[in-house]
Amino acid sequence: MLLAEAEAPAEADARLPVAGRWRQVDDILVAEAPEGATHLFFVADGRRNPVDQVEAFAGWVRDTGTEVGRILCVVNCRLLEQHPPLGAWYEACLHFSDVALLGRREGVANKWLSDFREKFEKEFRPCVFELVKEGRVRNPALILDPQARRVSHLFDEEWVPADGEDDEEEQLEGEEVEMVREEDPYLARHNGGRRLKQIPDITRFLAGGS
């Protein structure tokens, strides 16, 4: 397991096989896999923009030829219920996630939890939603199954016509159609570099701030 360099040490770390730390320099992810490792768990920095981290991680995956298994999102239900604006932050996380682990549910209204799940079910999100009870999940094999269930195609070889139109007629006539990698909506930027889809800074809602 590789922890984010800026992630503060926690008591739980003592029970986990931490193999090292990864860091992000601008938009480049710097990490070294331990010798002989066949599987790695990257733990993101929970206080930084998840989109920036995913973008850097995707670059590292392409550069190293690594295959992505599962992307897990741990939802702090209590924090989200108390701060609805964080919905946009979690929307971004779930866009890239195969599994949503619903934790910190103590004191959270059952209706809020059912409404939260129903929202994504109505959108036909393929992401698996699983309750965390006493720090455990009911079916670990389901959670770790490497079948992709995320909305994003960032880690897939998805190509689209450069002009944004799927012109079957041109293809049938044998005309060459320029293809480019599909751009993820969360990574799209304005000409000035600012992302088109903005998400809140989660540190504003955490105890102690940033």
Q: 13-42: buried (b, 16+ CB within 10 Å) or exposed (e) per residue?
A: eeeeeeeeebebeeeebebeeeeeeeeeeb
Q: Using the structure block, give the residue that is written with the tokens 């670990």.
A: 140
**pLDDT digits over 59-75, tens only?**
999 999 999 999 999 99
**Partners of 160 in the beta sheet?**
180
Percent pLDDT > 70 in the chain is 90
Give the residue-averaged pLDDT of 181-203.
93
Is pLDDT of 167 > 60? no
End-to-end CA distance of the chain: 25
Is pLDDT of 210 > 80? no
Q: 3-class SS at 168?
A: helix
